[in-house]
Structure 1
């Protein structure tokens, strides 16, 4: 039987409830017809505008604090990636035709995230149920049923809010357990190959989107060689921490017997195929040969390592990049590239939380990293790692976790 084609735009516009799509900047990306009718605002007056520019705090009901509560709910969705149900809200809306003419409305809002492949919030579905007529029913001849219904609405809203609070508490507990597990599975900060190295892990602030990032440093067999790797698992919490531990351990073992980083990633990719949750994980691994002063590297969809040469030149190791792990139905050999270095150079590996920012091209973050290394590259690995994190991470903390490895060659 042929699959029926669905006009999702038509379905969206025909929804009986008021629905708006907001960007992470809280700007209207789209609204359906019910939202246009319910707010009394033409569609073109909403799209591209900030939600609180269109609907400022009500002048008739300053105690309602609707804007404050809505803003807090939307920010919770952005921080946690979880649905947030608000209590019943009163909002006085000014008539578009008559300035100063305000109409009382009662809305029951629910804010739900739309997550991208990386687990970040790409859109917020702001759904509003118009319950004004139900609430107004209490004033029709002292109708007791109206008052009872209003009380039920408020009670239900409080119950939903309490449920959300309990879910947030459960998520916080899971986050703490996942972080403890992550810390236990990541290797301790220690010299490798008699070289000075610094490792850092910074969890995302105020979000469950943690524990997918990892790093590893190993002494390789044959000559004076080490392997340095970082990776990122799609997902968060305990599940991501478990997958991370499996991939890190597998790559650590494989690197010790592989001919090179490409072969190590080939084996890791086949292993990822049978690990639930490892789909689309990214990883980059480098083999550093101190006898030949050569770095050989291979990347599975991960941001490129950075080599700060002794003369201050910055080189991105980006000539052997391939799709993430388990991205192809039929595995193919991974590419591999090499570059030379002089003693005193610095190798830096990291995860995307260090360089990626919303609404910013990734090249801007890479340039920011390069400039930081140029200015502070003379520092030892430990203070250099702290300086890079301080300069590149947002002051309030990043919304994605970050792993960083700095090795003086």
Structure 2
């Protein structure tokens, strides 16, 4: 049984098997709301079929992620005998149908009718005189187990949503607010992933140093949730402190690399840090496995700073010195640091994402940093929502 529903839960189309199994005609289904056609059994105060199905469909529409439900008891009213409800058992799977822009345009509702399977299991021993009793016991047992599973799933979803909310609040509290850098303009952004995974591991930081210097950094912790947010806070603080006393970005990363070896969950963290010297108009940078920053020149040319890249934190078995490189900049150039959520897509080469970033930057080279940050998020993040969180720093040099 297959049906196509709009995000508003109106039937757009159904196949013949759906009509046959549900006992409805196409005219009675297509164009009508799902729960007008199939309401809950009013004679069963414990009925949860509608609530569970609606929650699943709404979740798919909001997240764009497939959802397999536990077996549901969802009684169906007989059209030949109004007021008579037939006990039915269904195994539903709900999946999104995405449009060209990545948004959910339809919901694919696939259902397997398992009522007869349950009843047949009750008669499998051939004892016809008590087959009805055995079938009823099996139906009740399977239904009870399915309801328990559905309740466990809902509790887990609520717990995960609560953890995500707390982690985001923790991360928001630990990430610094943008601060003035003399007459230089900057913008920072953090966008959490829309789904449940890959959230709360990204960070950014800006540190003012004596002698007209500014250290800027972005990082990405492997993992998600509260644990990733906690590791992120430790590493950001460690790098911020190291940047104030180190001779340069490479040495600061060496210190944090040693520290990361003692922090559970910090291994394979990627970090990019750069020290901007406003007086000499030069910038020294070093990367621990992080995507390269983009230096947007005033004429629209884009240079990716990839001449000082080393493995992520804790990736080497032995400690080693890290490389750094220096590049000159001119007044009016723009530096853009970001985490991989901005440019990476599943099944796509990273160079494709970097090409999109370069094209967008060149097209908006004269745009103010605040507006440019919004443009980058709008044009580069998937329209249906990112599957990884994104940190972004834009500095007009």
**Is 1:192 paired with 2:176?**
no
Is the 1:84–1:164 Cα contact (8 Å) retained in structure 2? no
Residue 256 of structure 2: aligned partner: 268
* Structure 1 residue matching 2:356: 3-state secondary structure: helix
> With structure 1 as the length reference, what TM-score do the two structures score?
0.71
Return the match for 1:61 from 15, 21, 36: 21
Residue 349 of structure 2: aligned partner: 361
**Is 1:344 paired with 2:332?**
yes
Return the match for 1:86 from 54, 70, 73: 70
Is the 1:175–1:208 Cα contact (8 Å) retained in structure 2? no
**Is 1:215 paired with 2:175?**
no
Residue 159 of structure 2: aligned partner: 170
Task: Give the distance between the partners of 2:147 and 2:277, measured in 1 at CA.
Answer: 62
Is the 1:88–1:108 Cα contact (8 Å) retained in structure 2? yes
Cα displacement string for residues 71-123 of structure 1 (whole angstroms, at most 9, x for unaligned residues): x59x86x9699996522599xxxxxxxxxxxxxxx887999xxxxxxxxxxxx
C-alpha displacement at 1:334, in angstroms?
1.1
Is the 1:171–1:208 Cα contact (8 Å) retained in structure 2? no
**Is 1:155 paired with 2:144?**
yes
C-alpha displacement at 1:200, in angstroms?
0.2
> With structure 2 as the length reference, what TM-score do the two structures score?
0.73
Alignment of 1:234-253 (within 5 A): 234-253=222-241
Is the 1:231–1:351 Cα contact (8 Å) retained in structure 2? yes
Cα displacement string for residues 31-62 of structure 1 (whole angstroms, at most 9, x for unaligned residues): xxxxxxxxxxxxxxxxxxxxxxxx99756425
For structure 1, the 5+ residue unaligned runs are 1-54, 91-105, 112-127
* Structure 2 residue matching 1:296: 3-state secondary structure: strand
Return the match for 2:299 from 286, 289, 311: 311
Residue 325 of structure 1: aligned partner: 313
Q: CA 1:158 to 1:270, structure 2 compared with 1: closer, same or farther past 3 Å?
A: same
Alignment of 1:195-206 (within 5 A): 195-206=184-195
Q: CA 1:132 to 1:261, structure 2 compared with 1: closer, same or farther past 3 Å?
A: farther
For structure 2, the 5+ residue unaligned runs are 1-14, 25-33, 35-51, 75-88, 95-111
**Is 1:231 paired with 2:219?**
yes
**Is 1:135 paired with 2:119?**
yes
Task: Give the distance between the partners of 1:79 and 1:315, measured in 2 at CA.
Answer: 35
Answer with 1 or 2: which has the greater Rg. Answer: 2
C-alpha displacement at 1:224, in angstroms?
1.4
Task: Give the distance between the partners of 1:270 and 1:185, measured in 2 at CA.
Answer: 22
Q: CA 1:188 to 1:89, structure 2 compared with 1: closer, same or farther past 3 Å?
A: same
Is the 2:289–2:312 Cα contact (8 Å) retained in structure 1? yes
Is the 1:137–1:143 Cα contact (8 Å) retained in structure 2? no
Q: CA 1:310 to 1:170, structure 2 compared with 1: closer, same or farther past 3 Å?
A: same
RMSD: 3.4
Cα displacement string for residues 226-246 of structure 1 (whole angstroms, at most 9, x for unaligned residues): 111000011111111111011
Task: Give the distance between the partners of 1:194 and 1:331, measured in 2 at CA.
Answer: 39
Is the 1:197–1:381 Cα contact (8 Å) retained in structure 2? yes
C-alpha displacement at 1:206, in angstroms?
3.0
C-alpha displacement at 1:215, in angstroms?
0.1
Task: Give the distance between the partners of 1:204 and 1:282, measured in 2 at CA.
Answer: 18
Q: Matched residue pairs, number?
A: 321
